[in-house]
Amino acid sequence: MDQVYLTGQVEVSGFVEDGQGNAVIPEGFLLPQVRLDKNVVERWSPVYEEGKQKIYRNAIVLRYEKNGEITGNPTANYYFDTDSDSGRYRKGSLTVVRAPVEEGKDYDVFGEEGSSFRSGNVLWVRQGTGVYVVPRDGSGYNRGMDFGQLYTGGTLTFTLKKVNEKGKILADSLEGQIQVIVDGQVPQAEIEISGAKEVEGVYYGKPGTAVSFRIPEDGLSGMKAARYFISSENGNVPGRQGKGNWWVDCGDGDTITLKEEGSYQIYVLTEDQTGNQAYARSAPVVIDSAGPVLEVTGVKNQSANSGTVRIGVNCSDPYYEKGSLQIEIRRSGENTGPAEEIRRERADGAKVTFSDFPHMLQWDGSYRLTASARDYAGNETRMEVVFSVNRFGSVYDLGEETKAKLEQFYHTAAFPVVFFETNLDDVKTARIFCLKNGTAAVLSEGRDYTVKRMEEGEWKQYCYTVLPQVFEDDGSYEVILTSRDRASNSSDNQAQQKTVRFFIDKTPPECLITGAASGEIFRGEKLWLFLEARDNGELDTLKVYLDGEEAAAYGREELEARKGILKWKLNAKTEWQRIQVYVRDLAGNEYWTEELPYYITEAETTAPVEPYRKTEKTAKEKVLEEREKEEKAEKADAKAAPKEKKQEEAAAEKKKEQKEREEKMPGKSERIFWKQAAFPAMLAGGGLIFLAAERREKGRRRGRKKGDRRGNC
């Protein structure tokens, strides 16, 4: 009862009045002070009595000083009459009214534990929780107010009360107010997985897959905390030792890395200041570093095979990417393996079975099986198996450089010829024949060729190198390797379409100009000359230059049709005319004739003609100068380009030019060949049979076959 409100006021009477009847208050007069009579009312006397506000009569009395005198100053001529019998002293009445209360002094405001947050004068509470106003000890009140399960915010009004043991209200306060905001939810975090592939709601990645967190802002009470937890099938938690449920604090933009193999799921808990919680859960994440396991059945690596050759490829991986198993069986650069017979795809792998290799001679050969498969994590496994099918004796192949050389027929220099022979059995005898311009000869081991044997498991391989000196002379060559194994199987390289046929041409062509002597004067309208070009191989181009400029050009077909002989007409002219001829053969050898002068005039008589004197450059000089300029320009360009690029471009250009020449060639260069039908007779009779045959184009050029890595031995 800290505040007391009087029902009236302290009044003093008995002063002397003036002529008009007004009381004259002496100077220095002070009203007496009052106090509460504790015998009538005390601090916690009830405010209400039987439901009505109670008035304490005679509760206000005069206050006395410690010396027993009444407070105030009646002055010398007066005194305060306190005699109750005189009727002049009347005590005052007291009414106790409701008082204002103050938070922190008279009461405290609480929300439910973990569900409220105070920001200034505003109390944030979680939706569905309560607010409680609790009187403080010593405030005089013993009952506050509860506001339970709030779903909307606003201003809450309350009063504090004092009640007795029977529940009667003895006192209450003035109304107080609380500003409350209800927070109903917290935003959910976002989980981003990078470096992994999503397949049907599951992410697959390699160790090092990153998981990032996006923690949004809470526009209400504010974000209090964010934590993540990683659940794994093996119980391991990245960054923690041991097993168990571990929640780790995280922030917006934080990234963790999954380094160990396993299946994971990431959870993120977000919580605001009022205790609202939201859970975000990622899709399952599988971390896998092991590629699929490939197994080949039916053949072994570096094996030679006869009988049934039925290949199977099995792939297994718990996270196999459906359809990723790819298999190629190649022979000499072409996909010539047997067809797939059965393919079965499973969730954890696949199995492919091929049909048997046909039991025919043309299916004997060296093969390379390449298999590859992937899993959803991006791990890829590749496997190669090199094997041979050898049901009919030896399998022949050519060295890589030999194949490259045989892409063109004509050559200006000798080169080694390399054969590879593979057999299940030991080769008992081998012979190499060389046909030079149709004449056959048996080559001698050690002098004309070398043999190197290699063996690995069942694979028996022989490398034959025919030395370049065998082909030193100009002419057409054909090389044949025959062999017989321990099982008496006989074969040769031509039977397996590994023909070796080429032409060595180191000699430039020639050209004769006849019909008239050069440097002479001739009368008439024209002069006929004869141009006769010759070569030990085949001519490719002939160009006629008149007075230093190209006048005509003849290609291979026209030269062959005319047998290299051309008729050229020089018309009359009042000056010396100069003729020069350029010839090139299919091997690339070049020849220039001398520049020959002629003077042809129609006049029967003529003034003396000055003898011919060379005053201008010949066609050859001009062409060679132009070539030199081009070569210098190419060298300048090549300085800025990588050496490898320069070599590739030069080789490609040379190959292109040679191919263009060869595509135009008839079969003239292949007048002599080894007739296959005669070969068995040779073996049976112990001799050689060579037959002349008509011209034919087939078999002249054997292109290099892709995928063969054999070189020289």
Q: Which domains does the chain have, with CATH numbers?
A: 1-97 (no CATH), 107-183 (no CATH), 190-287 (2.60.40), 293-389 (2.60.40.1220), 395-506+670-692 (2.60.40), 510-606+617-625 (2.60.40.10)
CB 220 within 8 A of CB 272: yes
Rounded to whole angstroms, how far apart are CA atoms 483 and 680?
A: 12
Task: Give the 3-state secondary structure of residue 679.
Answer: helix
* Main-chain dihedrals φ then ψ at residue 38, nearest 5 degrees: -65, -15
CB 382 within 8 A of CB 371: yes
| pLDDT, averaged in runs of 10, over the chain (713 residues) | 56 81 85 84 75 80 86 83 78 80 90 87 90 90 90 91 85 90 90 91 92 91 90 60 66 92 92 90 92 95 86 95 94 76 95 94 84 94 90 87 93 95 85 95 96 78 96 95 83 89 94 92 92 92 95 94 94 93 94 95 77 89 91 82 69 73 45 32 33 32 39 62
Cβ contacts of 326 within 8 Å, gap of 6 or more: 371, 372, 373
What's the pLDDT score for residue 84? 75
What's the pLDDT score for residue 572? 93
What's the pLDDT score for residue 577? 95
Beta-bridge partner residues of 209: 258
Rounded to whole angstroms, how far apart are CA atoms 318 and 377?
A: 11
Helix (H), strand (E) at residue 651? helix 643-663
Rounded to whole angstroms, how far apart are CA atoms 269 and 696?
A: 83
What's the pLDDT score for residue 7? 53
What's the pLDDT score for residue 473? 94
Rounded to whole angstroms, how far apart are CA atoms 81 and 71?
A: 13
Of the candidates 305, 683, 266, 284, the one whose C-alpha atom is nearest the C-alpha of residue 480 is: 683
Of the candidates 480, 537, 503, the one whose C-alpha atom is nearest the C-alpha of residue 675 is: 480
Cβ contacts of 105 within 8 Å, gap of 6 or more: 136, 139
> Side chain identity at 246, as an amino acid letter?
W
pTM > 0.85: yes or no: no
